[in-house]
Structure 1
């Protein structure tokens, strides 16, 4: 993780997303830009959180780790959003893990400052309510997807999110990890890969996957793990223009 000390860049982002409308001056004064490299962890489930984050750009993979050690993919972040609402309101450790799929830029504000300034600041509290409501709706939607959609569709959505608009994917996660993320078994995951390969959607060689039919992959994927929260009543992008 690197800290970006470009004050003017930070101010431009604050203005772009109208964050001064929901943050106090103390919170803005304590904010800093941080850059996470590809595959670097941002949050680790069940570990203390010291910052509230606004995700600005890049891509994050957000997943839960359950008591049995299995992980379940929640979604990929690729549009402006935040991390830490639940932890801030409940003084709780991180409820999920987040890893940068590609280099990602975030704003972070110390919880110490947040607790002093934000808990009695109605604009920020209204933001938290809207954000949590939208994320609850997204979680319900993802749960329904995992119950109702075939493994082939879930895998397609995972590959679509990982592709970053390129044809070649180099998988970082193991097959076991991917099967856990999308809520299936190792054997069913292999079967889904075989189905996509036999139908000409992908060509898989080890951990390298060539997307041969982008339109078909997108059709199968839908928006399973890339839900745009603005489409389900999320905040109005903080007044962003």
Structure 2
């Protein structure tokens, strides 16, 4: 993580996402611009909360650990997303792991400033309520996927959710299949069986070190419209 000292860039994000409607006095608020590289943890489950994070660029992955020690995928997040709101209101440690998928920037407000400058501000509290409602909706969707969908549907949903124009392309490294299996709640062996089945149907191709999506439309049909975002 690096802290970027660029007041103009901070002001541009405030304007882009209309944060002046959330922060009564944004110029007086000690905002930091924090930038995380792809693969870097933003929040670690079980750590004490240090502040609120407003995602203003990039893409993040949110997952939660289960009893076996594995992680289960909850959602992918885009701007504008807020992290730390649940922990702030419930006064608990960080509940989910947040990882930057690619370089991602956040406007960060330390916990003390949130408590003293924002918690009595109705527009700020209304904004938190909207974000919490959205999280409830996405967590409900993730629960439905993880509990009721088949492994084929979960894999298709994962691949379609993680597809990024001009960035993700069609190729997925096979070295990541163990991580994918954990995230979608299955075993690597079962996942490999599903991959072989989809390869036999010419939906996926399996090269030496990578998977290639051959037919996004049929993959979309297989997902039944479910997404992790």
**If the length of structure 1 is used for normalisation, what is the TM-score?**
0.85
Distance in 2 (CA, whole Å) between partners of 1:171 and 1:114 is 43
Residue 172 of structure 2 corresponds to 169
CA offsets 1:176-234 (integer angstroms, 9 cap, x no match): x32221122333212221122111122223652222222222333334212xxxxxxxx
Distance in 2 (CA, whole Å) between partners of 1:206 and 1:69 is 30
Selected match of 1:219 from 218, 221, 228: 221
Task: Give the alignment of 1:55-204 within 5 angstroms.
Answer: 55-165=55-165, 166-170=169-173, 173-175=176-178, 177-204=179-206
Query: 1:27·1:114 contact (CA, 8 Å) conserved in 2?
Result: no
Judge which range, 181-190 or 166-175, deviates more: 166-175
How far the C-alpha of 1:26 sits from its partner, in A, is: 6.3
- Output the aligned Cα RMSD: 2.0
- Is 1:7 aligned with 2:7? yes
How far the C-alpha of 1:84 sits from its partner, in A, is: 0.9
CA offsets 1:34-83 (integer angstroms, 9 cap, x no match): 11111111111011121201111211110001343121100111342111
Query: 2:172·2:210 contact (CA, 8 Å) conserved in 1?
Result: yes
Residue 44 of structure 1 corresponds to 44
SS in 2 for 1:102: coil
Distance in 2 (CA, whole Å) between partners of 1:140 and 1:28 is 37
Q: Residue 120 and residue 158 in structure 1: after superposition, are their counterparts in 2 closer, same or farther (change >3 A)?
A: same
Distance in 1 (CA, whole Å) between partners of 2:75 and 2:130 is 18
Q: Residue 2 and residue 26 in structure 1: after superposition, are their counterparts in 2 closer, same or farther (change >3 A)?
A: same
Matched pairs, number? 225
Query: 1:24·1:117 contact (CA, 8 Å) conserved in 2?
Result: no
SS in 2 for 1:105: strand
Q: Residue 171 and residue 61 in structure 1: after superposition, are their counterparts in 2 closer, same or farther (change >3 A)?
A: farther
Distance in 1 (CA, whole Å) between partners of 2:209 and 2:97 is 23
Residue 233 of structure 1 corresponds to none
Q: Residue 86 and residue 208 in structure 1: after superposition, are their counterparts in 2 closer, same or farther (change >3 A)?
A: same
Any gaps of 5 or more consecutive residues in structure 2?
none
Any gaps of 5 or more consecutive residues in structure 1?
227-241
Judge which range, 67-76 or 159-168, deviates more: 159-168
Distance in 2 (CA, whole Å) between partners of 1:84 and 1:16 is 21
How far the C-alpha of 1:174 sits from its partner, in A, is: 5.0
Distance in 2 (CA, whole Å) between partners of 1:93 and 1:40 is 19
SS in 1 for 2:144: helix
